[in-house]
Amino acid sequence: MATSGYKLNFNQDFTSISVLDGKDGFRIFSINNSDKVEEIYARESPHIILIERLFNSSLVVKVTAEKPNCLQMLHFKKNQNICHCAYGSNILSIRMNRTRLIVCLADSIHIHDIRDMKMLHQIENIAPNELGLCTLSLNSHLAYPISSTSGELRIFNATKLKPSITIKAHESRLSALNFSPSGQLLATASERGTVIRVFCVKNGQRVQEFRRGTMRCVRIASLVFSIHGYFLGATSNTETVHIFKIDEKAVIMALEAEALQAAKIAAAKQLEKAEKHSSHCTDDAKSETAVETAPTDTTVISTSPSSGWSDYLSKTVSSYLLPTQVSDVLAQDRAFATVVLAQPGMRHICGITYVQKELKVLIASEEGFLYIHDFNKERGGVCKLQAVHDLRGALDGVVELNLHDSLNKMSTDSLDKETSPRHVPTINVAGSAPVDSSLQITATTSSTNLCSATDGKGKKSTAPRCIMENPEQVADNSYAGILKGQREANTLTADSDKFRKLCDAIDTPTKLYDECQFPPMAIAARD
Taking the C-alpha atoms of residue 129 and residue 151, their distance in angstroms, rounded to an integer, is 12
Task: Say if 349 falls within a structural domain.
Answer: no
Q: Is residue 418 part of a domain?
A: yes
Highest mean pLDDT among 34-43, 134-143, 389-398, 498-507: 134-143
Least confident of 103-112, 180-189, 289-298, 438-447: 438-447
Range of the domain at 9: 1-91+393-527
Higher pLDDT, 292 or 99: 99
Q: Is 369 helix (H, G, I), strand (E, B) or coil?
A: strand
Q: In this model, does residue 201 exceed pLDDT 60?
A: yes
* Residues 319 and 430 grouped into a single domain: no
CA–CA gap between residue 441 and residue 427 (Å, rounded): 21
pTM: 0.70
Residue 421 has φ and ψ, to the nearest 5°, of -65, -20
Task: Give the span between the Cα atoms of 81 and 72, in whole angstroms.
Answer: 7
Half-sphere exposure of residue 69: CA atoms within 13 angstroms, side-chain side: 18
In terms of domains, do 404 and 487 share one? yes
Question: Is residue 122 one of the residues assigned to a domain?
Answer: no
Nearest of 417, 100, 362 to residue 231 by alpha carbon:
362
Handedness of CA 405, 406, 412, 414 (dihedral sign): positive
Q: Are residues 297 and 424 in the same domain?
A: no
Q: Which amino acid is at 189?
A: A
Q: Which of 40-44, 88-92, 108-112, 225-229 has the lowest average pLDDT?
A: 40-44
Q: Which residues of 113-126 are buried (b: 16+ CB within 10 A; e: fewer)?
A: ebeebebeeebeeb
User: pLDDT confidence of 182, banded at 50, 70, 90?
Assistant: very high
At what angle are helices 283-293 and 248-278 packed, to 10 degrees?
150
460-493: pLDDT as tens digits: 555 677 665 544 445 555 555 555 555 555 555 5
Instruction: Tell whether 155 is covered by a domain.
Output: no
Considering the domain architecture, whether residues 315 and 406 belong to the same structural domain is answered as no
Mean pLDDT, rounded, for 214-236? 87
217-251 CB burial, b ≥16 within 10 A, e <16 = ebebbbbbbbbebbbbbbbbebebbbbbbbbeebb
| pLDDT, tens only, 488-497 | 555 555 666 6
**422 domain-assigned:** yes
Mean of pLDDT values over 306-311: 42
Domain contains 258? yes
- Does pLDDT of 12 surpass 70? yes
- In a domain, residue 36? The reply is yes
DSSP 3-state assignment of 274? helix
Which of 323, 338, 360 marks a domain boundary?
323
Task: Answer yes or no: do 317 and 398 share one domain.
Answer: no
Q: What is the average per-residue pLDDT within 54-58? A: 93
- Overall number of domains in the chain: 2
Question: Does residue 42 form part of some domain?
Answer: yes
From 297, 323, 349, give the residue that closes a domain.
323
Confidence at residue 306, expressed as pLDDT on a 0 to 100 scale: 36
Amino acid at 450: L
SS3 at position 17: strand
pLDDT of residue 336 exceeding 60: yes
206 or 409: which carries more pLDDT confidence? 206
User: What is the CA angle 413-419-425, rounded to 5?
Assistant: 50
Same domain membership, residue 426 and residue 513: yes
Average pLDDT over residues 185-200: 93
- Whether residue 390 has pLDDT greater than 90: yes
How many percent of the chain have pLDDT more than 70?
63
86 and 8 part of one domain: yes
Name residues whose C-beta falls within 8 Å of residue 296's C-beta, 6 or more positions apart in sequence.
Answer: none
How high is the pLDDT of residue 254? 79
DSSP string, 167-235: EEEESSPEEEEEE-TTSSEEEEEESS-SEEEEEETTT--EEEEEE--SSS---EEEEEE-TTSSEEEEE
Q: Taking residues 57-79, what's their average pLDDT?
A: 92
pLDDT at 436: 41
Which of the listed residues 323, 340, 360 is the one where a domain comes to its end? 323
- Output the pLDDT for position 397: 41
Instruction: State the CB neighbour count (10 A cutoff) for residue 406.
Output: 9
